Chain A
């Protein structure tokens, strides 16, 4: 029987606690213990980015993170990114992803959104090449990336002009 451990952390702006197996990944905790299924299992080894979440303002692969390492930290998942009304950027990204056709099967989309959001947090005026580098850890099999990049570029240009939604 695996050792269990109690953790307390902030998830999508709400304080909560959880009891997790010590060897459990943050991804499994989010999906199976907390019950938020927006973050996806793509490979379990940090190569595809489908599991991307934000922790203390940084994007990371939740499949590589230990759940116990969430203790005391600020965790944001796709469900939290979508709900946050204060973040004009999230709404702009949502709008851009839909308008530019950046979604086909949608499985990579939560990870792409989380990574794009972090990328623009850090570099609000990122150009196309930086954006492509910025999502190099997110794999998509459907779109060929072009419309995803176009969507993120559109938001970065919007911010460049000072306009937000």
Chain B
């Protein structure tokens, strides 16, 4: 069972990174994943429990040099309510609206959602199509080190990321979308929220002359991690959106994904959904 021996609530990034250097730390932010997972026996607490909710460097949403920087502690509700996010990244607001429940949104953090790295993570799909980068900090020999990488490279497996044990996810950086940029998110479900995705789809592109350029497509719950879909992107890139081309893209999407059979759905059905919902989303874009 749990044998936590130390509890810390650092008030600065430096303090937190010092603690991480010693290793064997369970990080606590919103707690919406840590608590149920530990109760279910899926997560074993490490020797130290570190509450990062009081670290100022992890808080806030601000523009910075052509990007929007979102602190890791930003809750899902704060994301939805933030004017910058609403204006420039409405697809992220849309995904947040399908996230769990109001009570969980008030508490769950973007950083936690990213580090939990569920293949079905609701915020992860829009972040992927928005070209988000994660920013990680660590300390070595008393010096602060920073590292930044695309979100698509951050996930390594279900529940696994390439965050080193001595690293802390500080935030996410998203380039301000250029004019004409559109992005869409669809999460399959019988409920508006409170549902682990069976599949989810993100599509972004610059809409010009009824075609999408510089396309991004991402799928959730069809692979060990949330994934970009390069073949689908290629099939979509620059093609005029009309029934024939849309049908083709949907076929490519169905062939590209390799979901598994699990408790929630079969692989066959997930592929059918990817096909049908990709088609539906592109029909919607075409008529927009």
Contact = CB atoms under 8 A, between A and B. Distances in A.
Interface of A: 2-3, 5, 22-23, 25, 44-47, 49, 52, 58-61, 63-66, 68-69, 71, 115, 118-119, 133-134, 136-138
Nearest to B26: A23
A45 B31 contact: no
B194 A61 contact: no
B104 interface: yes
Interface stretch (B37-45, B153-161, B280-288): B37-45
Contacts of A59: 102-103, 106
Contact of A25 (B2, B35, B53, B100): B35
Contacts, number: 94
Q: Is the interface of B mostly helix, strand, loop or mixed?
A: loop
Contact of A58 (B3, B7, B31, B107): B107
B193 interface: yes
Contact of A3 (B4, B31, B191, B192): B4
B5 A3 contact: yes
Interface string B33-65: 011101110000100010101000000000000
A65 B107 contact: yes
A159 B73 CA distance: 34
Contacts of A58: 77, 106-107
Contact of A46 (B38, B49, B103): B103
B32 interface: yes
Given A46-B103, A61-B101, A68-B49, 8 more contacts: A23-B38, A46-B100, A49-B101, A61-B107, A115-B102, A133-B192, A137-B194, A138-B101
A43 to B, nearest CB: 9
Contacts of A69: 28, 31, 51, 53
Interface residues of B, number: 33
B51 A64 contact: no
A56 to B, nearest CB: 9
Interface string B104-131: 1011000000000000000000000000
A133 B98 CA distance: 10
Nearest to B37: A45
B192 A49 contact: no
Contacts of A44: 36, 39
B9 interface: yes
B31 A136 contact: no
A71 B51 CA distance: 11
23 contacts: A3-B4, A3-B5, A3-B7, A22-B49, A23-B38, A44-B39, A45-B39, A46-B101, A47-B194, A52-B103, A60-B103, A61-B104, A64-B32, A65-B35, A68-B9, A68-B49, A68-B51, A69-B31, A119-B102, A133-B193, A137-B101, A137-B103, A137-B194
B31 A22 contact: no
B87 interface: no
Contact of A23 (B6, B45, B107, B194): B45
Given A60-B103, A64-B104, A69-B31, A46 B192 contact: no
A119 B28 CA distance: 26
Contacts of B38: 23
A23 to B, nearest CB: 5
Return the 7 tightest CB-CB contacts between A and B, nearest first: A137-B101, A58-B106, A45-B36, A60-B107, A61-B103, A23-B2, A22-B7
